Amino acid sequence: MNELLSIVLTIITAATPLLLASIGELVVERSGVLNLGVEGMMAVGAVCGFGAALMTGSPLVGVLAAIAAGVILSMLFGFLTLTMVSNQVATGLALTLLGLGLAGMIGEGFVGQPGVKLEKISIPGLTGIPFIGPVLFGQDLLVYVSLIIVAATSYVLFRTKTGLIIRAVGDSHQSAHALGYSVIGVRYLCVMFGGACSGLAGGYLSLVYTPQWVENMTAGRGWIALALVVFASWLPWRLAIGAYLFGTITILGFSLQAVGIGIPSQLLSSLPYVVTILALVVISGNRALTRANTPACLGQPFVPDR
């Protein structure tokens, strides 16, 4: 039972950064913008969160710094793609390269230093319940925040006027503009929200998952988050299920190594990425599923009438 509990807790920890990054990208893509710079924003969020927590001694300050770093980088992307109308795919790839390089430069002095960990919450009388207590009532704050963000995103997108505007901008920006809505303004706000979530996901890696700074510690999670949005067909709760599924696959490799199963460690480490590719291939083959929720204007530039 203790081994099972340890595996479940590790799965939750592995899934949370994927969930945070992908829910932000889902909102961005729902507004019609394709931001491939998630990996770069996560890396900058990780190093800024770690550095701020280390210098102040407060992991909460680190969380805020990670969010701010993600937002700033996302605003650069927004300026280039929404104001200057540059190619979204090329700009997103450039943002990833910029973020990874910038994170490596900023974090050069942080390598090898012990981090400040965001501790788990303990609720007297509830956390002590066997198995259920640690799983439901003994997580760190950001695990609960990630689930709240998913619930709030689902509610706002599908049950409020704000969500209707976001989806309208993503499905037909010309029609939304004709109705008097600021397409560029809506997309800027969505891009900033995506940046905040990506930065927070990076901060989770350096403050909770492994409280230290290591260059390239995002390890491709930003790309998995991008794939998760497509895997979930742009639906928040399906995205949450997918994030925990991919978290399970990630931990499965470590668990199999621990019990001594004779499978090369390199193959086990590649499992999440192999599954990502297979999932995208399967989804791409189902055109009805792909078209069901795909924003019609995804990746298309918009220039308002002068």
Residue type for position 37? G
Tell me: the pLDDT tens digits for 164-183? 999 999 999 999 999 999 99
Q: What is the pLDDT of residue 265?
A: 65
Task: With beta carbons less than 8 A apart as the criterion, state whether 79 and 258 touch.
Answer: no
Q: Where are the domains of the chain?
A: 2-293
Enter the CATH code of domain 2-293: 1.10.3470
Q: What is the pLDDT of residue 3?
A: 81
- pTM of the shown model: 0.93
Task: With beta carbons less than 8 A apart as the criterion, state whether 65 and 51 touch.
Answer: yes
Q: What is the pLDDT of residue 163?
A: 97
Alpha-carbon distance 76 to 61, whole Å?
A: 23
Task: With beta carbons less than 8 A apart as the criterion, state whether 79 and 260 touch.
Answer: no
3-state helix/strand/coil string of 219-247: CCHHHHHHHHHHHCCCCHHHHHHHHHHHH
**Residue 210 CA, distance from chain mean position:** 17
Q: Each residue's pLDDT tens digit in the chain (306 positions)?
A: 788 888 899 999 999 999 999 999 999 999 999 999 999 999 999 999 999 999 999 999 999 999 999 999 999 999 999 999 999 999 999 999 999 999 999 999 898 898 899 999 988 888 888 889 999 999 999 999 999 999 999 999 999 999 999 999 999 999 999 999 999 999 999 999 999 999 999 999 999 999 999 988 998 999 999 999 988 889 999 999 999 988 888 887 667 666 666 667 667 677 777 877 887 777 767 677 667 778 999 999 998 875
Which ranges of the chain would DSSP assign to H, the alpha helix? 2-30, 38-56, 59-78, 88-106, 132-137, 141-159, 161-171, 173-178, 183-204, 221-231, 236-258, 265-269, 271-285, 287-293
CA angle 281, 287, 288 (to 5 degrees): 130
